[in-house]
Amino acid sequence: MCVKNGMAALSPLSVALLVAVTVGLAAAILAWRERPEPGATWLSALLVGQVWWATFLVFELEAATLPAKALWYDVQWVGVVAVPVGWLFFALAYTGYDRYVTPFSVAAVCIVPAATVAVAAAGDPGNLLATERVVRETAVGTFLDVVPGPLYYIIAGYTYLLGAVGSVPLLQLIRDDARPFRGQSAALLVGTAAPWAGSVAYITGAIPIPGLDPTPLVFVISGVAYLLALSRFRLLTLAPAPRRRARQLVFEQLHDPVFVVGTEGYLVDLNESAAETFGIDRRAAIGQPAASAVPRYDAVRDLADGGDKPRAIPIVGRDGRRPYEATVRDVVDDHDRTSARVITFHDVGAYLGQQQRLNVLNRVFRHDVRTETNLIQGYAERLRSDATDERALSVIDRSAGRILELSERTRTAGKLFDPTEEYASSPLPDVVDEAVADAREIDPDARVEVGRVPAVAVSVVLRVVLKNLCSNAVRHNDGASPWVQIDATVADDWVDVTVADDGPGIDPAEYDVLDRGTETPLRHGSGIGLWIVKWGVDHLGGRIDFDEREPRGTTVTVSVPVDRSGVPSTDR
């Protein structure tokens, strides 16, 4: 058998390249193993490209003849063009710009590299890649000295372009707050800058050995850098890719409406909830003066950045009129300049309602139930001395009845605050009829008149509201035959229902308390009926007005949005 000992003949250059092959391939395997982490596949493609280039440069160096060297030189192009493509898409996927990594973009970016490989495979027709190839013997090895052709410069420029584009998102990471990402991106940039420096040195002729492209040699440095990034800085197990999307997602999916207003007062951005809640067309609104899109902008613009205690501002949106607390935050850039303000609206309706409910229930127990119990106790004493005292019996009976009624209404109020309750819609005439029937049951002598009631759909919560209003009007009327008139009108998707009576009128202190929303031991309402009306109207996002009638009586006007949940909507 013939004898040829390969190892002994290896040139110093080849030995150095074999080190690059070792670290490069090891890093490629580790990267490949991390799939499907963002960027893993592309990083291994980049590293395999480096290994390929170094491998076939060794073959070129060790080949004995010019044709053999030229063959291996041409094969190297596959690796040469794979490196920048792998780098670009790795950087994009790894930093979370994966929307740019599509089959189409990959194909488009690969056109120039594929053309280069095709030219090399076809034997470089027209000397596009190399105008001249000579074998140059040096102390470090015998390689092909190539005089670059036009395509060579094109692919070189293209490589620099892809490299620069890929470095931009990574450079952003270097300034990141999170230490692991700074370490990762620093290692990656060293890994990329090293071959670039080699390539620049070659093209500018700064290499002491003429004709030698040191780029593949410098892959030793990049291989070590990538290995470090993978094993030490957990490059792919802790990739920053999801952060961009996560932050975007939080803004978009935030339940609270958010507006971003630039320093000049124009709307810069708004989230899904803002568009939905206030019925704003996002495309049209962005770029418009903030006052035209941000609700009550005049009231919120002057809120200091996290300063004053926020106050609830009633705003009419898609869900009717609801109380919002607005907070304003300045967006500050790296130079401490305010570039925009973020206005967040927080719907505090449920919170305020719960507060009022606790407040009122507290009063009911502390005051109303206690008063009735005192009465019962007192008259029970009288019964003890005179068991035939009919008056005492009837007082106790009425008192107990009022406690029972309070308890019933408390249950109704509780239902209004049940977050799991889903309210159906019902035609307004049906709702009115039920309330009227209820009132007639309380006092068969009552004259209840119903005016024109348009047949629109309303939430069944309005039934609770109207039943309470009608029964109050009948119950608290001291006349022989109480009179109640119900009318309804519709305008702009809102229903106004008026309940008028000829009773003694509601004490202004009662609805003043409703208006302020809080009761105190000295200023409180009586019973819970009016509160149920208020909570029901608040729940529907509506409003309520009280007016005195001439010559006597009260007119209560309830305005609530028409219920569109059962109707296919056209504008969403």
Partner 1 sequence: MANEPIRPSTPDGTAEQSRSHTTTPAAGPLRRVAAFAAGAPFTALVAAVEVAIATAALGVPASTAPVAVGLVAFSVYAADHVADAAGDVGSTPQRARIALRYGDQLMLAAAVSYGLAVALAVGAGPAALALVLVPGAVWVGYATDWLPTVAALVAPPGSVSVPRLKDVFLLNSAAVALAWAVAVVAAPMAFAGVPVDPTDAPTVALLFAYVAARSFVDVEVPNVRDVATDAAQGVSTLPVVYGVAGTRRILFGVDAVAGGLLVAVVATDAASGGVVAALAAGLVVSVTVTALADRLDGSTLGVAPDCSYLVAGAVLLAIGP
In whole angstroms, the minimum distance from the beta carbon of 122 to partner 1 comes to 21
In whole angstroms, the minimum distance from the beta carbon of 239 to partner 1 comes to 16
Among 43, 45, 46, 51, binds partner 1 (CB under 8 A): 51
Q: In whole angstroms, how far apart are CA 437 and each of 448, 463, 475?
A: 9, 12, 14
CB atoms near residue 166 (< 10 Å): 25
Q: How far apart are CA 462 and CA 429, in angstroms?
A: 11
4 is a site residue for partner 1 (CB under 8 A): yes
In whole angstroms, the minimum distance from the beta carbon of 186 to partner 1 comes to 20
Pairing of strands 338-347, 130-137: unpaired
Which residue lies nearer to partner 1 by CB, 219 or 531? 219
In b/e form, how buried is each residue of 428-461, taking b as 16+ CB within 10 angstroms?
beebbebbbebbbeebeebebeeeebeebbbbeb
In whole angstroms, the minimum distance from the beta carbon of 31 to partner 1 comes to 9
Q: Which residues, other chains included, contact 445 with Cβ-Cβ below 8 Å and sequence gap of 6+?
A: 480, 481, 482
- DSSP code of 336? S
45 is a site residue for partner 1 (CB under 8 A): no
Spatial CA neighbour of 465 closest among 408, 532, 510, 526: 532
Which residue lies nearer to partner 1 by CB, 231 or 253? 231
43 is a site residue for partner 1 (CB under 8 A): no
Among 13, 39, 45, 62, binds partner 1 (CB under 8 A): 62
Among 13, 23, 453, 469, binds partner 1 (CB under 8 A): 23
In whole angstroms, the minimum distance from the beta carbon of 83 to partner 1 comes to 17
555: exposed, middle or buried (C-beta count within 10 Å: 0-12, 13-18, 19+)?
middle
What is the torsional sign of CA 106, 108, 109, 115?
Answer: positive
The residue assigned the tokens 């949106």 is: 317
138 is a site residue for partner 1 (CB under 8 A): no
203 is a site residue for partner 1 (CB under 8 A): no
In whole angstroms, the minimum distance from the beta carbon of 56 to partner 1 comes to 9
118 is a site residue for partner 1 (CB under 8 A): no
Do residues 170 and 160 touch, judged by C-beta distance below 8 A?
A: no
439 is a site residue for partner 1 (CB under 8 A): no
Amino acid at 256: D
Ranges within 213-242 binding partner 1 (CB under 8 A): 231
Give start and end residues of each alpha helix (H) in 370-460.
370-385, 390-416, 428-442
546 phi-psi bin (left φ>0, alpha ψ -120 to 50, beta other): beta
Tell me the window of 55-63, 157-165, 249-257, 546-554 that interacts with partner 1 (CB under 8 A). 55-63
Do residues 80 and 57 touch, judged by C-beta distance below 8 A?
A: no
64 is a site residue for partner 1 (CB under 8 A): no
Among 43, 45, 58, 221, binds partner 1 (CB under 8 A): 58
Among 10, 203, 207, 361, binds partner 1 (CB under 8 A): 10
Among 38, 39, 50, 55, binds partner 1 (CB under 8 A): 55
In whole angstroms, the minimum distance from the beta carbon of 419 to partner 1 comes to 16
Which residue lies nearer to partner 1 by CB, 44 or 426? 44
Tell me the window of 20-28, 107-115, 164-172, 474-482 that interacts with partner 1 (CB under 8 A). 20-28
560 is a site residue for partner 1 (CB under 8 A): no
User: Structure tokens of 134?
Assistant: 């000579």
Which residue lies nearer to partner 1 by CB, 15 or 358? 15
Among 14, 273, 277, 471, binds partner 1 (CB under 8 A): 14
In whole angstroms, the minimum distance from the beta carbon of 10 to partner 1 comes to 5
The residue assigned the tokens 């007062």 is: 265
User: Structure tokens of 271?
Assistant: 């989230």
In whole angstroms, the minimum distance from the beta carbon of 26 to partner 1 comes to 4
Tell me the window of 18-26, 200-208, 252-260, 514-522 that interacts with partner 1 (CB under 8 A). 18-26
Report how many residues bind partner 1 under the rule CB under 8 A.
31
Which residue lies nearer to partner 1 by CB, 4 or 335? 4
Q: How far apart are CA 223 and CA 20, in angstroms?
A: 7
In whole angstroms, the minimum distance from the beta carbon of 2 to partner 1 comes to 7
Q: In whole angstroms, how far apart are CA 117 and each of 163, 207, 357, 484?
A: 19, 26, 77, 92
Helix, strand or coil, per DSSP, at residue 206: coil
Do residues 130 and 146 touch, judged by C-beta distance below 8 A?
A: yes
In whole angstroms, the minimum distance from the beta carbon of 421 to partner 1 comes to 21
Residues that bind partner 1 (CB under 8 A): 1-7, 10, 14-15, 17-19, 21-27, 29-30, 32-33, 35, 51, 55, 58-59, 62, 231
